[in-house]
Amino acid sequence: MANDTKKGDIKERFLRILKIAWRKVKEYTRIKEDTDYEATVDSISGSVEFKGFNVWILFFAIIVASVGLNVNSTAVIIGAMLISPLMGPINGIGLAIGISDEKLLQKSLKNLAIMVGISLVASTLYFLLSPINDARSELLARTQPTIFDVFIGFFGGLAGIVATSRKSQSVTVISGVAIATALMPPLCTAGFGIATGQIWYFLGAFYLFFINSFFIALATFITVRLLGFPQVRYVDEAQSRKVKRITTIFTIIVLVPSIFLAADVIKEAAFNTQTIKFVNDIQESEMFKDTQLLKADREYHHRSQNVTLTLIGKPLDQTQVFQLQELLNKEYGQKTANLIVKQSSGASIDVKQQNEVIENLIDKKDETIRQQDSIIHELQRQLQEVKSKEGTEKNN
């Protein structure tokens, strides 16, 4: 009986601590009371406007960002993102759906389409005139969307709308969101794809821009609803129902494809993670004792995935290749992935691949020579010190 009473007291005390902790969490995370509904709607509605000086600011910002991407300058790209007005219409779309404002939704969509068009024209013109036509690392980074871009777009959008809705807006947070969500570089890269006739660059970059934009708008919509922003009221009840129906249909049209797109991005991220682990692990196996991996390439498509290994040294036989394929499919969960093994003794290595193999060997040989030279110089220095000490001791 005494034990039951003691257990009851402990449980009661524990529940009381939990309630106090929960009250503290609510106290520290509460933001609804500090929300300025009217000023937030006015601020976002104003940022949706796109005419006059905004057109020129966007045009110049796109040129600056394109130059930064072209010369691989991160600082220049960041500067361009800070002056870009692209965030306005995207936040406007999320707000419009959240408060059922048909006019704001139409205006935001129209202005976003115009902004995208101007951005593509500006970046395409720049890359047509630029003497540098090769894809640098900053450009390549904007052609392959990953799951991290989804996270950045969504949580960056949350930070942006929460900061915008405060009575005292934080310019630092809003500027940081503009940099983190990186809306401009993908559009510039899409322009590069058009200018150089590389359709996959265009599609990949534009896809990345779409993902960023959608998840920023989604974050705005969710926050607006959670904070209880007042809905736009229409005199005509039929008009009100029509607006709600339009916004609901639009949300579904955008949301459903985005779920599939995001799912594909997640699958690609999992594919890259598992295949990197696969490549690292097999190199430590007994099978690769007399065989060296020169290069491992990964290729992901929605319906097919390839992992290509370029090997040198003792060739793997068909049984070993089959074992690697089974390992990739079963142990690393890549059931549809195809393993391609290119070996120095096989006919599957073409001239270009042979040149790459030779270049890799030369680079490794040069590195080995440099290391040996360094060791020799160090030994000579130590030998000289020993001789100097012996000469000193003899003189003494």
Residues 266-295 pLDDT 10s: 787 788 888 888 888 888 888 888 788 888
For residue 359, what pLDDT is reported? 62
At 195 the three-state DSSP class reads helix
Please write the tens of the pLDDT for every residue from 227-236: 888 877 765 6
For residue 38, what pLDDT is reported? 81
Task: Read off the pLDDT of each residue in 329-358 and give the average, rounded to a whole number.
Answer: 67
Most confident of the ranges 83-87, 146-150, 204-208, 306-310: 306-310
Q: Which of 85, 129, 78, 88 is nearest to 108 (CA)?
A: 88
Q: Does the pLDDT at position 184 exceed 60?
A: yes
Residue 182 to residue 343: CA distance in whole angstroms:
41
Tell me the whole-structure pTM to 2 decimals: 0.62
Position 143 confidence tier, pLDDT thresholds 50, 70, 90: low
Token pair 């990953």 in the structure block, residue: 146
Task: Read off the pLDDT of each residue in 193-219 and give the average, rounded to a whole number.
Answer: 84
Out of 2.50.20, 3.30.1130, 1.20.1080, 1.10.8, the CATH code matching 31-232 is: 1.20.1080
Give the Å distances, CA to CA, from 339 to 279, 298, 326, 386. Answer: 11, 10, 9, 56
Q: Does the pLDDT at position 122 exceed 70?
A: yes
Task: Read off the pLDDT of each residue in 177-184 and give the average, rounded to a whole number.
Answer: 68
Residue 119 CB coordination number (10 Å): 26
312 Cβ neighbours under 8 A, 6+ residues apart: 291, 292, 294, 343, 344, 357, 361
Residue 121 to residue 113: CA distance in whole angstroms:
12
Task: Read off the pLDDT of each residue in 245-253 and give the average, rounded to a whole number.
Answer: 70
Please write the tens of the pLDDT for every residue from 32-51: 777 777 888 888 888 888 88
Burial of 193 (0-12, 13-18, 19+ CB in 10 A): buried
